[in-house]
A and B are shown apart, each in its own frame.
Chain A
Amino acid sequence: MPNDIINEFTKAEYKEGFVTDVEQEFIPKGLNEDIVRMISARKEEPEWLLEFRLDALHKWEKMPQPDWAHLDMPGINYQDIIYFAAPKKDKDRPKEIDPKLAETFDKLGIPLKERDVLAGVVAVDAVFDSVSVTTTFRKTLAEKGIIFCSFSEAVKDHPDLVRKYLASVVPASDNYFAALNSAVFSDGSFCYIPKGVRCPMELSSYFRINARGTGQFERTLIVADEDSYVSYMEGCTAPMRDEQQLHAAVVEIIVEKGADVKYSTVQNWYPGDADGKGGILNLVTKRGICKGEGSHLSWTQVETGSAITWKYPSTILKGDFSSSEFYSVAVTNNHQQADTGTKMIHLGRGTKSRIVSKGISAGVSQNSYRGLVRMGAGAQNARNYSQCDSLLIGSKCGAHTFPDIRSANPSATVEHEATTSKISEDQLFYCNQRGLDPEEAVGLIVNGYAREVLSRLPMEFAVEAQKLLQVSLEGSVG
């Protein structure tokens, strides 16, 4: 197949690449104290939060940008980014969603009107550039005592909870991008599940970057009190542009005694075109703490987008007999680069973790798994099992595995396994013989390869993720 057809094909298939023409207000470019004060003032934040932001900014200014990842990172000019962009509110109808925004989310398949949703399956917090547009099903959730709202609202309505948990898992000084986020974070989702409550529906955040020259810096905070349960999903898309845009988010999850949190991500930021131009730089810090005894946190991620992904959802297993899982599929095609994996820090007795990572690289992309499993001295009888497989499609891509295992407890057991291979000629031949063209065959084989992870996704996501895998690999064979 001639190259230009492939190019056109892959380009055309990023169907979320449109721009919404909506009037937006921006703050000036650049990053300094004044900008941080401006963001804070615009959001009418209390003094303590401004202090937190300024403190983070000062820490960030002293930190070097990390370069240990297996990534060819472009220079980022942090003074050339707009840190806050919001769609203008219509003064006559301040309570309603701008029809253009509603249309945008509709086009993306995100239901913002509750009546559109079949019997209330998913509650959504929709974030457009720097602000949350709406949060659905609030009333239904409030009846159970569940708080699900935008981060800004949480700061206003539940300051004690936010203050108690903010930065308790990812401190501002944790790393360069977490510090940056702490200084300029704009919006995001806040979720609190009270004691003994099982959240009756999936909660979901949808992040959309729209404005040019901006970055998105959202913050998600999930608190699951004792014996509660919640399943949380996160999705994201952005328009196609020649410029690279920065996305530096922080997700913090607190899991108390006996609680269970399931966090799923389908990351589909614009990956750049076939020549590696444009795309989102996805540099995020996600971490949860299993605080109490018997708590459980599971991460499932499908990463198909972004020009660069730098992301390590991690769990601190502090409570005795707590457990965590990490299931990941990361696909890179064309010029995409991904350095992703997890950290499992075992501190409590009898803690368990399981890591299943499936990397798929095609085109001239680079795909790395990087993980840390640490058994602390108190992790009696703790257990970890990791499996990291890489699949290579084409001879110009790279697949890498960088696990790090540290054990300081003789009763702890850690196992790590990794394999690297390509789709075999036999498998392809078998499919071709039965009338599937090479691309369909690759899609089929890849879906089979990733099934162990895909089967962990909530229903709503699983179908989308399967399609996404196929689309991402379109044009990579032949």
Chain B
Amino acid sequence: MGHGKYIAPPEGRYQVPAGEKLELEYVVLPGESRDIDVSVDLMGPGAELSLKALYLCKADEKVNFRILVHHRAPGCRSTQLVNGIAGGTSNVTFHGTIVVAPDAQKTEAFQENHNILFSESAKVETRPQLEIYADDVKCSHGATVGRLNEDELFYMRSRGIPRKEAESLQMISFLTPVIPEGRREEIENAIRNL
């Protein structure tokens, strides 16, 4: 697949000092098997992380996310959003952990992972985890595994949109929150070719 243009930031360990903001974006396109292994430490007050990831699988890809976010100081904020579509015989795992250290008060940490299974033989495993040792925090996580909404499909088809296109539109809307700026066209094409 000729999708080598995008260079993802190197996976690994990041330390975000007080008052700084780190933005991470990952895109995994069809044909690509990837292990994305990231650990982020929020070191000082006001440090912030925004992580967005997207995956699209249509063959026998194996995509593994391992994301560890460690809130080591008070008043930090982190958001994670990982959305993707698993087709073919692909196998996707998401293992995300948020750790809030004792005394890291006023922490805000959010983590979401949404997956759509697009074939009978694809598999998704998701393990969003929270480990919280401070009380004055706002933390939440959500995870879903499901399929395209039949009602929405029917709505579009009853208005003359062919099934295939209706499915693509749904997937585009599902992935829009995690599509990086400037890559919309490329990703929409990939979705239409699923």
On A, residues with C-beta under 8 Å from B are: 70, 375, 377, 390, 392-422
B103 contacts the other chain (Cβ, under 8 Å)?
yes
Additional A-B contact list (19), CB under 8 Å, known A402-B127, A405-B126, A412-B145 = A375-B145, A390-B132, A394-B135, A395-B103, A397-B133, A400-B130, A401-B128, A403-B129, A404-B125, A404-B126, A405-B125, A406-B126, A410-B117, A411-B147, A412-B146, A414-B146, A415-B146, A416-B128, A416-B142
User: Which residue of B is nearest A401, CB measured?
Assistant: B130
A400 to chain B, nearest CB (A): 5
B131 touches A421 (CB 8 A): no
Residues of A within 8 A of B117 (CB): 407, 409-410, 412
Partner of B135, one of A393, A403, A407, A408: A393
| Residues A403 and B143 in contact, CB atoms below 8 Å apart | yes
Asked if residues A422 and B129 are in contact (CB atoms below 8 Å), the reply is no
Judged by DSSP, the binding face of B is: strand
Taken residue by residue from 119 to 142, chain B's Cβ proximity to chain A (1 for < 8 Å, 0 otherwise) reads as 110111111111111111111111
Please name all residues of chain B whose beta carbon is closer than 8 Å to the beta carbon of A399 when the two chains form the complex: 130, 132
| CB pair B120 A410 closer than 8 Å | yes
The residues of A that contact B105 with a CB separation of less than 8 Å are 395
25 contacts between A and B (CB under 8 A): A390-B132, A394-B135, A401-B130, A402-B127, A402-B129, A403-B128, A403-B143, A405-B125, A406-B123, A406-B124, A406-B126, A407-B124, A410-B119, A412-B146, A414-B146, A415-B146, A416-B126, A416-B142, A417-B141, A417-B142, A418-B130, A418-B141, A419-B139, A420-B139, A420-B140
Interface residue from A393, A394, A398, A415 paired with B144 (Cβ < 8 Å): A415
Q: Assess the A392–B129 pair: CB atoms within 8 A.
A: no
Query: With A395-B103, A401-B129, A422-B136 given, is the CB distance from A408 to B142 under 8 Å?
Result: no
Q: Is residue B162 contacting chain A, with contact meaning CB distance below 8 A?
A: no
Minimal Cβ-Cβ distance residue in B for A413? B146
Overall SS of chain A's interface: strand
Which A residues lie within 8 Å of B137 (CB)? 392, 420-422
- How many angstroms from the CA of A409 to the CA of B121 in the assembled complex? 7
B55 within 8 A of A: no
Contact B145 A405 (CB under 8 A): yes
Nearest-CB residue, chain A, relative to B143: A416
Q: Is B118 an interface residue (CB 8 A)?
A: yes
B91-114 vs A, CB cutoff 8 Å, 1 = contact: the mask equals 000000000001101000000000
CB pair B131–A398 under 8 Å, yes or no, is: yes
Q: How far is the CB of A88 from chain B (nearest CB, A)?
A: 49
CA distance A394 to B141 in the complex (A): 22
Query: Could you tell me the distance between the alpha carbons of A397 and B102 in the complex, rounded to whole angstroms?
Result: 9
A413 lies within 8 A of B144 (CB): yes
Asked if B125 and A395 sit within 8 Å, CB to CB, the answer is no
- In B35-69, the 8 Å CB interface with A consists of none
Q: How far is the CB of A21 from chain B (nearest CB, A)?
A: 43
- In the bound complex, residues from chain B placing their C-beta under 8 Å from that of A411 are 147
Using a CB–CB cutoff of 8 Å, the interface residues on chain B facing chain A are 102-103, 105, 115, 117-120, 122-147
Report the separation of the CA atoms of residues A246 and B184 in the bound assembly, to the nearest whole angstrom: 59
Minimum CB distance partner of B107 in chain A: A420
- Complex Cα distance, B138 from A417, in Å, reads 14
Identify the closest chain B residue to A377 (Cβ). Answer: B120
Q: Which residue of B lies closest to A390 (CB)?
A: B132
Given A395-B136, A421-B137, A406-B130 contact (CB < 8 Å): no
Q: How far is the CA of A177 from the CA of B97 in the complex (A)?
A: 28
CA of A418 to CA of B102 in the docked complex: distance in angstroms?
20
Query: Once the chains bind, are B144 and A420 in contact (CB under 8 Å)?
Result: no
The CB with the most chain A CB atoms within 10 A, among B122, B129, B135, B140, is that of: B135
Q: Lowest 3 A-B CB distances belong to which pairs?
A: A410-B117, A392-B135, A413-B146
Complex: how many Å from CA A394 to CA B118?
45
Residues of chain B contacted by A418 (CB below 8 angstroms): 128, 130, 140-142
The docked-state distance in angstroms from the alpha carbon of A406 to that of B117 is: 11
Contact call A414/B144, Cβ cutoff below 8 A: yes
Shortest Cβ gap from A110 to chain B (Å): 37
Contacts of B131 in A (CB 8 A): 70, 398, 400
A396 to B144, CA, bound (A): 32
User: In the complex, which residue of chain B has the Cβ closest to the Cβ of A393?
Assistant: B135
Instruction: List residues of chain A with CB within 8 A of the CB of B125.
Output: 404-407
Complex interface: chain A residues within 8 A of B102 (CB): 395-396
Closest B residue by C-beta to A421: B138
Kindly list chain B residues whose C-beta atoms are within 8 Å of the C-beta of A396: 102
- Most A CB atoms within 10 A — which of B103, B115, B122, B140? B140
B132 is contacted by which of A398, A406, A408 (Cβ under 8 Å)? Answer: A398
Q: Are B141 and A401 in contact (CB under 8 A)?
A: yes
A413 proximity list for chain B (CB < 8 A): 144-147
Which residues of chain B are near A392, meaning CB under 8 Å? 132, 134-135, 137
CA–CA, A405 to B122, complex, Å? 14
